[in-house]
Structure 1
């Protein structure tokens, strides 16, 4: 990060903090007599709770926790109409979530994917399977950086910890009567959501108990043409006081969803971003309409040339829709026929032949009927045959026992399940069949007091088992060859994958030596990336929160043993099994956390250093076979963080600077990736008076990476410009290669799509009447300009989103009107994958009206 920019951002953040403190202090001083009698109302529940065990497993206030943590409680979720993880960005410094093809499954924090946790247990990875709904949460906690040693291995990006609603008040006292509510939400583009919740105390014999049930159903259309998301969520939580010493908690969450992935815009140029000018034109004719098996899609023999001359790792196929470029003049490549960023390239295939000799060869990537058109933001790369189907189930059981010596013994069981399948006609099929994880955790919490110091401690062990299958077909993924103004056609719709590519009657042919030399009949598409993996993890952990007068030392350590098995289970078109069968491996890892803080008069400066370990996972969280073979399936990360927090009854402020590093293996190519990030984050929440409150965040960050072997799909217009071509001469296919082909080896590049600066400020105002309340909120999120990819191909402009709401409540009945993107700002976010060729346009202004009744 540029030093002068860092100093400027820190100075700005400190100035804002001091200014907010002075405003609050002046206001509170004027009203001190009233405050001593009655505290300021926190209608939106913006102030952090007194203590929480979620961050590290030990009871500690957020202001005294020596890490960057943001808390969002149920009232804030409801009154700000937060529905997904993307909505949390406006309240969370350091968070900026790029588009995983439109699926709001997980957050990106500090430039890294964060893990989803449920009551302190890591869930199955969900970057692009289904939208994570947050309205059933009693509390959401977003921790930036490695998780507590209590919680096991996890991403250096951090965690979103979801605590479901229960029948207890503040975690210990039962509600004293039946409570509940129901709501109906309608809005723009036929948005339709109904939800309900019910909490009830009851007696189980002579045992006090309670239950809470939450359900939500959505069946909506959307701003984007052809996208109709629907989902169902059911959540229950039971609490039982089995005895004075023993408490039992159990429950589950069940969710179904059919939200498809939507990449956004393709054929991306700077003109498209700046003024909406889109290059039109049809791709090459590859489809055979007389073939009844594949008359409306491109079958494997149409999108590629199937031949034993193509290596097994290429699926015995040379693509008709892509060219994988390499350095020229190597033993297995040809002479230079292109260049990019000053690097000489050899691009093979029909396109490469045309580049080498355009006179005697035809360009297979040339569009026909080329023109231009203006694209609206509601037009995206979508197909009526696209589908997705998801079932997710999470369950838990906790038994907590207070021992006679004051210790607390807690035993927890956690289970998470996911079944997911999807097909996108740009060339991606995915299937995750009944993947699941199971974890047992046992811990002992106790206090020590020497007179000179006190400590709260937790020690324990866990066992975790994961059985994760991932089936992908993506080798022929191509985005630019479809004209979005026309929509899908048989010449740009890649057929879905199937488990038996010969099931339509295709047969292999053999030469005189008995070797496979081809195929007769129509092949169906196969899965070309299959990871079948299991992981057993045994870990022991210890945490100690030591207080010496005003000083505090937080120590944590964890030792893990991983026993993994993984198999590369796919078979090529010509029946060549890939991989070397089941590969097993064992690794151990040590993680630790050291924090020192000092608390005086509400101020808590701190410094933290942490080293953590986690697995190098694929998209569903499974083990990549190649990482087991080379012994690199455990990834290391480091975090250094220094900060200061302040909290009183009316103000919470947290300022931090972080520097983190991480290495891991890329799940697509098994390439080694090194990621470096640093930044400054500020969070401010203030109750100005009984009526007025504000929430503000500022993040300034810089995230870079080095990865020679990462897959790079090049922006076709940029490739054309650097080779004396026009975009329409390249849009009929895909240009790819290892990143080192397009930039010098070891080049450290800024991660694409991540703005240097993100800032949010929201104000709320409540007017109290005798039996009712009128509330309103208004605020904005500013996002700095950013390039879409590591090659800095397209500059996405800065933007400001304004959101607002107004509601009226009386006798349990609430009417709320919410406006998102109030000023109808047009903006863009990049994609997590294929970010050079895909950009997600913004949703326009949307309105929603919610009518709810609580009793």
Structure 2
């Protein structure tokens, strides 16, 4: 076998570029490691010639309404459904966000995709920007059409590494596996350019640096190389990025490494192999935002100060051990860790209380708070003004993630225009974090792989044409999830003063009872007789999922009618076990009706159908109905032992959608308007309580190229999302609880008040989800004009362009939680950018939150007690050089 990369002349450029990146950001060992990998590219045997400025340049001809931002969805894409189809003609809600739009509209994370995506608004998952919320539901993360390990709160998804992001609303294509209603974010990496490298036959790339507010520092490299294999064309692309930054929020200093590499090789005139992978390291910790949330805090920044009760006994003077945050005894049930909490009370309906329980009321419901008094008064109570940069954070907090993704595609095209493709996908994650409010998580060696094969063919007659794919897949997941959260408490810390030994919950470890000896008390209960108890994991779920599926999808056109039909059959073989033990060494699942390892098998049939009609005027109305099944999963995506035991691990969801799309004005305007109505069942929150979710809404997307200079993007959403979940674990707003019981908030802030949701609102209550604005509007415009600067664009290369972008996102006011305890006001956040580019040099200035608007985002978890304050105005300046 002969492999060539355009000759054998050594290429020093990648090594030089990597050394430059290393000099700027090599203050950490992992940065040096990544720079070494990139530098290794310099050993590749390459030969290339950079065109000089003296060479003849073909004059660029601008066409009226030129789409210089890849704004209009004109290209056929097989990603959304698996069939080549223009989004305008796709009878579903799909939004494409290209890398050009990510750059020019200053998009920094998946949270910012709301600016260009109707139906999307992401609540704060304790500050981690790992996945989107679509139509009020968490969306699945896909990588080149394969579902990844779930990532609601592990690490930030780096959208700068995407060449394109596809946001699909509703269930996934049958091609992509079982999924629930809501949506998907399909990440197309920059290494998709390996195809272009093969076709262009030249070495190309760019190196870029970004600096910005709060010591933002990012370095990035793109490199495309043509190659040959046994006289067949091929291409290779590498993308690498290093970030080492501080941030607007005090103490929070995220760093990130991303490396992508891909090969695209023709082994014959009809067969192509694509091989690639991605490595990411991230240390982004969770930042919940503000605690002690009151309406006064939201309205004018008035924060209630005060110190929690003295609980630290000095055994570990830096943090609270389990015997300090609770009382360990076998008199406490296994389900609550064989420990009565000293930092919170669990409330039940009054009729279920006993003589020693404290009476209270909330929302007109009579309560009994188990264990006695719910008073946890603060000392030295006062008030202060809280800056948005001050949040619930601790120097001891950490979150380390390593994620590795790899893929292999083999594609073959037959003489009759049919095609066959087999793809192998692998995803792995190692993640561990500690947050001092009382949460520790560890996902050791989580991994999955999937094999998918499909056959595409066409049928054409005089009146009918059909594009069809059929195929099968097998998916295998091995996932381990370890969580410690029973003592999570937010309000007892005064964040204006920072963490103290009396409000820093100790992290969980694997052997918390290593130096402990047990004894019995006077009542015969088992207690700790000697030794130090460290915190334990109260969930340790080990699961395996084997999923085999068959799928078919057909795109049928009859004159102006189009029918899109899809179906999928899945078989599941699952096993899961919770091996967590309590503070007395007892298995948590010993209190379950079916302890030990659980096994289950089942099958499911999902389908979808869409009908559309294309008018000559450019309007395309459509209707869609879909029925889907998805596996009930924990936060990592693994099977839950309890649901296997009860045979309730598959949950149904359905969608009805009707809309109209428009492509007009000589292809310079794209518009889409739709109505959706969906319902689903899911396991919600840390306790995985069964929840029914109902959503409906209207979505509008508009993209227009008004002229060569002016482009406009606008989106609008009206949505309503309701849920029913009697068993959802709920921590209620302490200030609201205190007000309803004639107390001051400071009387409660030293602990927490919790219970099942039905305790506070009654059984079967259908409540609107908090934190989701009913109305959202975004409008962004860009203006481009030629501008030639003599020192950057010497004649005859007069190719300089100046592009300005300005836009806003407006979100309606919303309640922070289902109880309406705090109202988060409406806001308008402006974003601007200024870009100057020549044939080789590009500079970009981005300004986020231009007017320094103060606004708030509700939390995905604990939405009654924490809220995320907005980031202030930030600036970043990027420079890149293309070669």
Q: Secondary structure in 2 aligned to 1:398? A: strand
Q: Where do 1:166-185 residues align within 5 Å?
A: 166=191, 168=193, 174-185=199-210
The 1:350/1:298 distance shift into structure 2, 3 A limit, reads: farther
Q: Secondary structure in 1 aligned to 2:297? A: helix
The 1:802/1:670 distance shift into structure 2, 3 A limit, reads: closer
Given the alignment of the two structures, is residue 457 of structure 1 paired with residue 468 of structure 2, yes or no? Answer: yes
Q: Where do 1:335-484 residues align within 5 Å?
A: 337-352=359-374, 363=375, 365-484=376-495
The 1:79/1:683 distance shift into structure 2, 3 A limit, reads: same
Distance (Å, rounded) in 1 between the aligned partners of 2:818 and 2:432 = 30
Distance (Å, rounded) in 2 between the aligned partners of 1:176 and 1:333 = 82
Q: Write out per-residue CA displacement over residues 555-595 of structure 1, whole angstroms, 9 at most, x where no aligned residue.
A: 00000011110101101111111221110001111100000
Distance (Å, rounded) in 2 between the aligned partners of 1:564 and 1:515 = 38
Other-structure match for 1:243: 268
Of 812, 817, 821 in structure 1, the residue corresponding to residue 840 of structure 2 is: 812
Of 559, 562, 566 in structure 2, the residue corresponding to residue 549 of structure 1 is: 559
Q: What TM-score comes out, normalization by structure 1 length?
A: 0.92
Q: Secondary structure in 2 aligned to 1:814? A: strand
Native 8 Å contact 1:165 1:237 kept in 2 = no
Native 8 Å contact 1:697 1:760 kept in 2 = yes
Native 8 Å contact 1:572 1:578 kept in 2 = yes
Distance (Å, rounded) in 2 between the aligned partners of 1:331 and 1:753 = 32
Q: Write out per-residue CA displacement over residues 729-759 of structure 1, whole angstroms, 9 at most, x where no aligned residue.
A: 0000000000000001111101010001010
- The Cα of 1:167 is off from its aligned counterpart by 6.0
Other-structure match for 2:598: 583
The 1:99/1:205 distance shift into structure 2, 3 A limit, reads: same
The 1:331/1:370 distance shift into structure 2, 3 A limit, reads: closer
Of 637, 658, 669 in structure 2, the residue corresponding to residue 642 of structure 1 is: 658
Distance (Å, rounded) in 2 between the aligned partners of 1:39 and 1:175 = 27
- The Cα of 1:434 is off from its aligned counterpart by 0.6
Given the alignment of the two structures, is residue 530 of structure 1 paired with residue 552 of structure 2, yes or no? Answer: no
Native 8 Å contact 2:357 2:369 kept in 1 = no
Q: Write out per-residue CA displacement over residues 285-304 of structure 1, whole angstroms, 9 at most, x where no aligned residue.
A: 00012x2xx21100000000
Native 8 Å contact 2:198 2:235 kept in 1 = no
Of 857, 873, 876 in structure 2, the residue corresponding to residue 829 of structure 1 is: 857
Other-structure match for 2:13: none
Other-structure match for 1:47: 72
Distance (Å, rounded) in 2 between the aligned partners of 1:275 and 1:488 = 24
The 1:37/1:562 distance shift into structure 2, 3 A limit, reads: same
Native 8 Å contact 2:194 2:264 kept in 1 = no
Other-structure match for 2:786: 768
Other-structure match for 1:153: 178
Q: Secondary structure in 1 aligned to 2:159? A: coil
Other-structure match for 1:655: 673
Other-structure match for 2:568: 558
- The Cα of 1:332 is off from its aligned counterpart by 6.1
Query: What are structure 2's unaligned runs of at least 5 residues?
Result: 1-60, 590-594, 788-797
Native 8 Å contact 1:327 1:333 kept in 2 = no
Q: Write out per-residue CA displacement over residues 442-480 of structure 1, whole angstroms, 9 at most, x where no aligned residue.
A: 100000123221100000000000111100000000000
Of 237, 252, 258 in structure 2, the residue corresponding to residue 233 of structure 1 is: 258
Of 571, 580, 596 in structure 1, the residue corresponding to residue 581 of structure 2 is: 571
- The Cα of 1:173 is off from its aligned counterpart by 6.5
Native 8 Å contact 1:704 1:749 kept in 2 = yes
Other-structure match for 1:796: 824
Distance (Å, rounded) in 2 between the aligned partners of 1:217 and 1:853 = 17
Given the alignment of the two structures, is residue 80 of structure 1 paired with residue 96 of structure 2, yes or no? Answer: no
- The Cα of 1:669 is off from its aligned counterpart by 2.8
Native 8 Å contact 1:189 1:220 kept in 2 = yes
Q: Secondary structure in 2 aligned to 1:329? A: helix
Q: Where do 1:483-494 residues align within 5 Å?
A: 483-494=494-505
- The Cα of 1:177 is off from its aligned counterpart by 1.0
Other-structure match for 2:714: 696
The 1:226/1:512 distance shift into structure 2, 3 A limit, reads: closer
Native 8 Å contact 1:113 1:155 kept in 2 = no
Of 142, 162, 167 in structure 2, the residue corresponding to residue 137 of structure 1 is: 162
- The Cα of 1:774 is off from its aligned counterpart by 0.6
Distance (Å, rounded) in 1 between the aligned partners of 2:635 and 2:192 = 35
Q: Secondary structure in 2 aligned to 1:337? A: strand
Other-structure match for 2:24: none
Query: What are structure 1's unaligned runs of at least 5 residues?
Result: 1-35, 353-362
Native 8 Å contact 2:209 2:217 kept in 1 = yes
Other-structure match for 1:684: 702
Distance (Å, rounded) in 2 between the aligned partners of 1:333 and 1:201 = 79
Given the alignment of the two structures, is residue 508 of structure 1 paired with residue 518 of structure 2, yes or no? Answer: yes
Count of matched residue positions in the alignment of Structure 1 and Structure 2: 805
Q: Secondary structure in 2 aligned to 1:63? A: helix
Distance (Å, rounded) in 1 between the aligned partners of 2:523 and 2:455 = 68
- The Cα of 1:67 is off from its aligned counterpart by 0.3
Distance (Å, rounded) in 1 between the aligned partners of 2:353 and 2:501 = 38
Q: Secondary structure in 2 aligned to 1:200? A: strand
Other-structure match for 1:706: 724
Distance (Å, rounded) in 2 between the aligned partners of 1:192 and 1:170 = 30
Native 8 Å contact 1:415 1:439 kept in 2 = yes
Q: Write out per-residue CA displacement over residues 574-624 of structure 1, whole angstroms, 9 at most, x where no aligned residue.
A: 111122111000111110000000112322110000011111111111111
Distance (Å, rounded) in 2 between the aligned partners of 1:169 and 1:472 = 40
Q: Write out per-residue CA displacement over residues 639-689 of structure 1, whole angstroms, 9 at most, x where no aligned residue.
A: 000001112421110100000000122353342210000000000000000
Of 279, 282, 288 in structure 2, the residue corresponding to residue 254 of structure 1 is: 279
Native 8 Å contact 1:533 1:567 kept in 2 = yes
Native 8 Å contact 2:283 2:401 kept in 1 = yes
Distance (Å, rounded) in 2 between the aligned partners of 1:335 and 1:120 = 53
Other-structure match for 2:336: 314
Distance (Å, rounded) in 1 between the aligned partners of 2:396 and 2:478 = 30
Of 634, 642, 657 in structure 2, the residue corresponding to residue 618 of structure 1 is: 634
- The Cα of 1:692 is off from its aligned counterpart by 0.4
Native 8 Å contact 2:358 2:373 kept in 1 = no
Native 8 Å contact 2:191 2:239 kept in 1 = no
Other-structure match for 2:749: 731
Q: Secondary structure in 1 aligned to 2:369? A: coil
The 1:663/1:607 distance shift into structure 2, 3 A limit, reads: same
Other-structure match for 1:323: 345
Distance (Å, rounded) in 2 between the aligned partners of 1:812 and 1:332 = 76
Q: Secondary structure in 1 aligned to 2:653? A: strand
- The Cα of 1:336 is off from its aligned counterpart by 6.2
- The Cα of 1:517 is off from its aligned counterpart by 4.1
- The Cα of 1:171 is off from its aligned counterpart by 7.2
Query: Once structures 1 and 2 are overlaid, which stretch shifts more, 188-197 or 508-517?
Result: 508-517
The 1:236/1:55 distance shift into structure 2, 3 A limit, reads: same
Other-structure match for 2:82: 57
CA RMSD of superposed structures (Å) = 1.7
The 1:260/1:426 distance shift into structure 2, 3 A limit, reads: same
Distance (Å, rounded) in 2 between the aligned partners of 1:52 and 1:333 = 66
- The Cα of 1:82 is off from its aligned counterpart by 2.4
- The Cα of 1:134 is off from its aligned counterpart by 1.3
Q: Secondary structure in 1 aligned to 2:588? A: coil
Query: Once structures 1 and 2 are overlaid, which stretch shifts more, 201-210 or 277-286?
Result: 201-210
Native 8 Å contact 1:175 1:200 kept in 2 = no
- The Cα of 1:37 is off from its aligned counterpart by 9.4
Q: Where do 1:28-47 residues align within 5 Å?
A: 38-47=63-72
Q: What TM-score comes out, normalization by structure 2 length?
A: 0.89
- The Cα of 1:416 is off from its aligned counterpart by 0.3
